Structure 1
Amino acid sequence: MQPGQRIVHADFGEGIVVAALPGGYLRVFFASGERELHADAIQVAQTRSEQILGNVAGGPERLLRAWLHVEAHALPLMENSAALTAARIDLLPHQVVLTHRVATACPRRFLVADEVGLGKTIETALLLRELASRGELTRALMVVPAGLVNNWHRELNEIFHLNFEVFGSEGDVTDRKSNAFAKHDRLIASVDTLKRPARIRRLLEAPKWDLVVFDEAHHLSAYGDRKTANYKLAESLRDHARDFLLLSATPHQGDHYRFWMLIQLLNPTLFRSPDEMLEERHRLNSVVFRRTKADACTPDGSPLFARRWVHTESFTMSEGETGFYAKLREYLQDGFDLARKKGSEGHALGFVMTIFQKIAASSFAAVRSTLRRRQLMLTIHEALLKDQALDVDGHLELMKQAKNIIRVESNIPDTPLGNGEIDRMLAELKYRLVRKLDEDSLAVAASSHSSEQSTIAGEEMVTTAVAVSLPEERSRIATVLAAFPAIQETKVEKLMRALGSVWNQNPAEKVVIFATYLATVDLLAREIDISYPGQGVVVLRGGDHGMKLAAEKRFRKADGPRVLICTAAGREGINLQFARILFNFDLPWNPMDLEQRIGRIHRYGQRDTAQVYNLVLSDTIEGSIFLLLTDKLEEIAKTLGKVDEQGNVTEDLRAQILGQLSDRLSYDQLYRNAISDPELRRTRQELEAAMSNANEARKVVYELFQDLDRFSLDDYQPLADIDAGKRRIVDFVKTAVELDGGQVDLFDQDRLRVTFDRTELRCTINRDLARSDDTLELLGLDHPLVLRLLHHWRSISPAELGATATVGLNQLVVLTVWLIQGYQRGADATATLVPIAVDHAGKRVPSVEKRLRDCFQPPSDAPAVPAAERSALLQMVIEPALQRELQHRGIAGVEKSHAARLIAWVELK
């Protein structure tokens, strides 16, 4: 035992001899510290190769165990592994190619700039899955906008089963008592949650991440010497992660410096300045992937998306509606004026008025209902104040008014039972009033970026936010409500006529209708049932993703409801390409939300032209601004020749300009200010300036990105044939499960039943079959069972990897299998398996290497190479042959490094 010798101790594990001591003792360094031990208590640690060569044995089970170990390494390294996911999704060629390129790159630091709708979330999930199946992913952090946290959580966990947790949400991961970033390996967090300096410190104290992803990365901004908090967060995490991914459909905001700073996060040495980036823009190919909808296609090369036709139907309000709208506008303007006068103290009132303005844009019935409920809560609030002031008569009178409002609104009879119900409801309303006003939640609900939950919650919050109000607001609301027209709303009438026209042509036609607020949804459901009894209506009104899917499933059935009405909850997470007609009964302030709605039917799998109808009251503020925006878009499109044969602005131009516009224009501010701008003069100027800037930014982006490599189906062809890969997965699972005492029954070429560890799974390797049959699990490299088996067989003891086989050779041949990790700066990583077969004379046998998988088939006989000769054969013949092979493949050489690991030794006869 000499200093430097690696040893093993039964209790302390592996260690290194530091010094020899008198009496046969040794000083040994272990992970737990130095210890003095007698030489008899320790053993010399064998290398992995020594363990394999010293334990070669015959027998069919030993051979199968060696094969399972090799296959557990080989399966995730297949060229088309990205296409072998177990997620029930349609895999598109551009997604498979991008996943493969990122997974096989070194370093993995990229900006994925695919256009909206091409599946950047899916591409990220596929990458996570591929790295996990290779054993290269333990810790991953997704940093996303607050409004997208739930969407990311749902997609990664429910579709891809990646087991991510949300950081910072109530009842979820927190960092109050310990460092959550160290305790939890897979986290999703909002950029606002992480960018606080204290959080950044904790991030850097935790172990490094294998992968960090920033969604909507164009928000990582730097201006001159000033870096935003978002940018500083990304800068900190870039240096604390092995792999770093930025996602953005609009990464360039028309400012070359900001985009150059974004690229600096990926490779600070790529360009010395923005000017050099412009001159040498072809270098962007080393860090940027951009796929457009025009490039993307199906596996057979046909266009990915069917055509779409968008028509805006504008009309004016009736006389009664005009009067009501004038009173409502006056009420809103007074509210906004008072909010401005109060400064920061008036923010909450401004949020209340904004939400009312948005509800009014949905339907007059919705704003009437919400105003009526606010009037009720103001009445109860005032009654409670009278009670506190000991004004008994005033308190009783106001409570009487409140009860009467409840009776009328809820249609409750004047009976003892009815009065008891009113008292119960009144007690519940009083309880709501005592809750503290949540100004932050009001702000989120008023925002044009509000989530589905906050949008719906906004209807409730404006009724209970009575701590902020106008003087004499109850009477002001009464004046507005008195002007409410009793006739059917113009937009409702137009929609009913349109539905009649649709069903006259095809009574079975499925129709999707979007309306943001619940009161509008309820109104439309009633009107459709009255006008078209028997057609059926299903409402998608929020809740968890399971509730969304249940509504979608009912609507999808051939004999199911003909109409699906969606609130804001339907903007994302559902697929409705089996319907081709969509009505936007109301229009979201942010036009990108409108694109999201259209994307529910205009998506991959839609076979017909998607027909979209926008219903607009042109003499309302919202209608006027929407038409101004539409006209300006069409003007730009005509100038550029970007108008299709139907006169529609082409989808690519629309997406490019609106994507740039969203970061140049505050839609919330635009619509709020328009209340006090009756002629929309200031609004028109602001909108035109923003549109002009967005168009200029689009031109700049086009010029910079024109040298980026475009997607070609030729890139996909080598990865397209996955039948052999699917069969290999089945063979691996069957062998591994049966070797451990389980059972696999093959019903046909696509379906199998796996009985393992007291669990039964019905599986398939056919993606279409899995999507049509919920009882079948899709078997892929990222299926939990496959991942479990891969991990188990990759980690078995080296002492089990020396085997023998009888394959009918007329000479003795030794087959070795090596796992090679090759590294070269700026080039692809070369994780690969390399077989080296030599005969007893030391000559390479390529024919055996080509038949690698056939060499692990029983029968198996006794070892054929004397134990004393194996080490010399390995060192003198096989390892030099391996080195020459790696040089021939370009893996070894000058400025290239690699790691070689022996994973199997098979003696063949």
Structure 2
Amino acid sequence: MCMIIEKSTEWKEGFIKRLENVEPWDNWTLYNMSYDVVKTNLIADFTGLQSPKYLPNLTPLTHQLEVAETVIERMNGKAILADEVGLGKTIEAGLILKEYLVRGLVKKALILAPASLITQWVEELNYKFYIPAIPYKKNTPIDYYDVVVMSMDTAKKNPHRELIYAQEYDMIIIDEAHKLKNHKTQIYEFVQSLKKKFCLLLTATPVQNNVFELFYLISLLKPGHLGNYETFQSSFSASKHSLEHEDYLKELVNQVMVRNRRQNTGIEWTNRCVQIIPIQFTKEEKDVYDLILALKDVSPVFSGTFSMITLQKEMCSSKEATYLTLNKMRQNCVEPKENEYVEEIIQKLMALEINSKAEKVYEIISQANDKVIIFTEYKASQAYLQWYLNSKGITSVLFNGQFNKNKRDWMKHLFKEQAQVLIATESGGEGINLQFCHHVINYDLPWNPMKLEQRIGRVHRLGQEHDVHIYNLAIDNTIEKDILDLLYVKIDVFEKVVGELDDILSAFKKSI
């Protein structure tokens, strides 16, 4: 096919007519319209936010607007957004990104988030902020898109990593940034290598287990702000769970971190009613638990700290979870004596007819007579609890990290419309909002107190209309007592460095 291109002479004819004053040089109406457009888009002052007037689908809360202003005007676009769970950190990040886009300071942006939150981010950016974000998929030509949302796990691997390194991103936003707490991980090294003109780290829990997690998080954002590792350690006499000069450290942290608490937002919040519920093992359960404790004396093979702690925690959860680990140990036994001892434990374990903790769960659910979320750390316990509750006539649905988005949405729908109980694992509870429920049972206690805060935040967030009841189950004279003690220590470290924390264990904080 042949295409003929001819030069137009119309411009020349029009130019000559204007020279001869046959036609006017300008159009006053068009000039005024152009003037109004330029005047509307002109930003004469850097203080204050311009973006809200371009967001008809969004009515930001006062604290969200204040966070955006603080990050832009005082922190130069590099900040940790650490509001308590449920206060809208995504909205704050969207406001900041929109503001920089409006002002022409950002053109390309990359958002890294857990895979389960990708769709939520894309929808909010498109429909609330009018930011044309796209979810990254295999072979997506990211060179041609200005705002890309990608999962952390995908971004850190090749070839995706090299594609990202080749881009000139003006802003990086990282959701659930506490996942970067370990500086030895691949994702930490990846984020550290990114060029970051502006950078936002979103996490309600910047300290989870120890104070060094916050050091490494801030070092990602502003290298050298807290000195190097040795300087930080010596300046604050820092160890995992203790430090000195915490007021000065908090002052430094507040130069790069914005944190709102629920009680300071001016919003009327429902109450959080938290309690620790002690449970007693039956004699038979205690006998099996003691046999497990004695494993380390039978053979050096069983003396591994991790496996022993795991077994103790599993025994405090369900015999089903315990059996899976014991069975693996039995398969690896070399000496007949070791095999016989493990076999004895398994036989006594499987003979157990009562799960004291599950009975307490049934009691709580019966008294609540309402929707309840149960958090467990083991899929075997998850399956057992569903069977047990079903035998009592209580409907339930499962929720865990292996479910894809469609299945997660369906389980959430079933829980809201039909089932009384949702039984979730730790990873399954990430990123879901369940304000229609206001009872949470922490069936298994985690070592990390911020996981408790994340669990509770699924229901105690904006939109919750009822008081939220939290039940923390702990079996007396077991490893769960040690877990409780350590949780209090870690909460104390968090409050020294970051600030006060809502009740997550009980209504009264234990003095450390």
Q: What TM bracket, shorter-length normalisation?
A: 0.5 to 0.7
1:208 aligns with 168
1:322 aligns with 286
Write the deviation string for residues 405-444 of structure 1: whole angstroms up to 9, x where unpaired.
xxxxxxxxxxxxxxxxxxxxxxxxxxxxxxxxxxxxxxxx
Does residue 120 of structure 2 align to residue 155 of structure 1?
A: yes
Shift of 1:529: 2.7
2:270 aligns with 306
2:413 aligns with 553
Letter paired with 1:502: A
Identify if the C-alpha distance between structure 1 residues 55 and 599 changes in structure 2 by more than 3 Å, giving closer, same or farther: farther
Write the deviation string for residues 740-780 of structure 1: whole angstroms up to 9, x where unpaired.
xxxxxxxxxxxxxxxxxxxxxxxxxxxxxxxxxxxxxxxxx
Give the alignment's Cα RMSD to 1 decimal. 5.6
Letter paired with 2:61: L
> Partner of 2:470: helix, strand, or coil?
strand
Identify if the C-alpha distance between structure 1 residues 184 and 474 changes in structure 2 by more than 3 Å, giving closer, same or farther: farther
> Partner of 2:434: helix, strand, or coil?
coil
1:124 aligns with 93
**TM-score of the pair, normalised by structure 2:** 0.67
Which one of the candidate residues 443, 447, 450 is aligned to 1:592?
450
**TM-score of the pair, normalised by structure 1:** 0.41
Identify if the C-alpha distance between structure 1 residues 556 and 257 changes in structure 2 by more than 3 Å, giving closer, same or farther: closer
Shift of 1:514: 1.8
Q: Following superposition of structure 1 onto structure 2, how do residues 93-492 of structure 1 map, counting pairs within 5 Å?
A: 93-100=62-69, 102=71, 105=73, 108-117=76-85, 118-132=87-101, 137-142=106-111, 149-161=114-126, 163-165=133-135, 172=138, 185=146, 186=148, 188=150, 190=152, 206-213=166-173, 216=177, 237=194, 240-247=195-202, 249-250=205-206, 253=211, 264-265=222-223, 288-294=256-262, 296-297=264-265, 301-303=266-268, 305-330=269-294, 337=301, 358-368=313-323, 370=324, 469-471=332-334, 477-484=342-349, 485-492=351-358
Identify if the C-alpha distance between structure 1 residues 555 and 134 changes in structure 2 by more than 3 Å, giving closer, same or farther: farther
Distance 2:247 2:191 in 1: 27
Contact 1:83 1:96 in 2 (8 A): no
Identify if the C-alpha distance between structure 1 residues 366 and 634 changes in structure 2 by more than 3 Å, giving closer, same or farther: closer
Which one of the candidate residues 382, 389, 398 is aligned to 1:528?
389
Does residue 491 of structure 2 align to residue 628 of structure 1?
A: no
Contact 2:317 2:357 in 1 (8 A): no
Q: Following superposition of structure 1 onto structure 2, how do residues 676-687 of structure 1 map, counting pairs within 5 Å?
A: none
Letter paired with 1:128: L
Contact 1:306 1:603 in 2 (8 A): no
For structure 2, list consecutive stretches of 5 or more residues without a partner in the other structure.
Answer: 16-22, 127-131, 236-244
1:514 aligns with 375
Identify if the C-alpha distance between structure 1 residues 279 and 518 changes in structure 2 by more than 3 Å, giving closer, same or farther: closer
Write the deviation string for residues 188-237 of structure 1: whole angstroms up to 9, x where unpaired.
464997599x9999866x34222124563896899xxxx99999866754
Shift of 1:293: 0.4
Letter paired with 1:545: K
Letter paired with 1:537: S
2:129 aligns with none
Distance 1:255 1:593 in 2: 15
Identify if the C-alpha distance between structure 1 residues 527 and 236 changes in structure 2 by more than 3 Å, giving closer, same or farther: closer
Distance 1:336 1:183 in 2: 59
Contact 2:110 2:173 in 1 (8 A): yes
> Partner of 2:358: helix, strand, or coil?
helix
Letter paired with 1:648: A
Identify if the C-alpha distance between structure 1 residues 475 and 71 changes in structure 2 by more than 3 Å, giving closer, same or farther: farther
Letter paired with 1:316: Q
Identify if the C-alpha distance between structure 1 residues 84 and 339 changes in structure 2 by more than 3 Å, giving closer, same or farther: farther
Identify if the C-alpha distance between structure 1 residues 315 and 492 changes in structure 2 by more than 3 Å, giving closer, same or farther: same
Q: Following superposition of structure 1 onto structure 2, how do residues 788-867 of structure 1 map, counting pairs within 5 Å?
A: none
Shift of 1:519: 2.6
1:16 aligns with none
1:648 aligns with 507
Identify if the C-alpha distance between structure 1 residues 587 and 246 changes in structure 2 by more than 3 Å, giving closer, same or farther: closer
> Partner of 2:114: helix, strand, or coil?
helix
> Partner of 1:601: helix, strand, or coil?
coil
Shift of 1:308: 0.9
Write the deviation string for residues 7-45 of structure 1: whole angstroms up to 9, x where unpaired.
xxxx9xxxxxxxxxxxxxxxxxxxxxxxxxxxx9x99xx
Identify if the C-alpha distance between structure 1 residues 80 and 634 changes in structure 2 by more than 3 Å, giving closer, same or farther: closer
Which one of the candidate residues 472, 493, 509 is aligned to 1:614?
472
Q: Following superposition of structure 1 onto structure 2, how do residues 712-731 of structure 1 map, counting pairs within 5 Å?
A: none
Letter paired with 2:397: V
Shift of 1:551: 2.3
Contact 1:327 1:483 in 2 (8 A): no
Shift of 1:83: 7.6
Contact 2:51 2:95 in 1 (8 A): no
1:581 aligns with 439
Contact 2:206 2:214 in 1 (8 A): no
Letter paired with 1:487: E
Letter paired with 1:250: P
Distance 1:131 1:634 in 2: 36
Distance 1:295 1:329 in 2: 44
Shift of 1:613: 0.8
Q: Following superposition of structure 1 onto structure 2, how do residues 871-882 of structure 1 map, counting pairs within 5 Å?
A: none
Distance 1:219 1:588 in 2: 19
1:81 aligns with 51
Contact 1:515 1:585 in 2 (8 A): yes
For structure 1, list consecutive stretches of 5 or more residues without a partner in the other structure.
Answer: 1-10, 12-39, 47-52, 175-179, 341-349, 379-465, 504-508, 655-690, 693-909
Shift of 1:321: 1.1
Write the deviation string for residues 878-904 of structure 1: whole angstroms up to 9, x where unpaired.
xxxxxxxxxxxxxxxxxxxxxxxxxxx
The percent of aligned pairs where both chains have the same amino acid is: 22
Identify if the C-alpha distance between structure 1 residues 109 and 286 changes in structure 2 by more than 3 Å, giving closer, same or farther: farther
2:238 aligns with none
Q: Following superposition of structure 1 onto structure 2, how do residues 728-767 of structure 1 map, counting pairs within 5 Å?
A: none
Identify if the C-alpha distance between structure 1 residues 572 and 149 changes in structure 2 by more than 3 Å, giving closer, same or farther: closer
Contact 2:219 2:225 in 1 (8 A): no
> Partner of 1:564: helix, strand, or coil?
strand
2:240 aligns with none
Distance 2:249 2:362 in 1: 54
> Partner of 2:281: helix, strand, or coil?
coil
Letter paired with 2:398: V
Distance 1:561 1:244 in 2: 41
> Partner of 2:170: helix, strand, or coil?
strand
Letter paired with 2:64: Q
> Partner of 2:354: helix, strand, or coil?
coil
Letter paired with 1:481: I
Write the deviation string for residues 581-640 of structure 1: whole angstroms up to 9, x where unpaired.
21112222322212211111222222332111112112322x121232366589999x99
Contact 1:634 1:649 in 2 (8 A): no
Letter paired with 1:486: L
Identify if the C-alpha distance between structure 1 residues 133 and 153 changes in structure 2 by more than 3 Å, giving closer, same or farther: farther
Contact 1:142 1:212 in 2 (8 A): yes
* More RCO (CA 8 Å, sep 6+): 1
| Deviates further, 280-289 or 310-319 | 280-289
Contact 2:375 2:444 in 1 (8 A): yes
Q: Which has the larger radius of gyration?
A: 1
Write the deviation string for residues 95-145 of structure 1: whole angstroms up to 9, x where unpaired.
233235546x598432234343244344223433454566654422346xx
Distance 1:218 1:496 in 2: 34
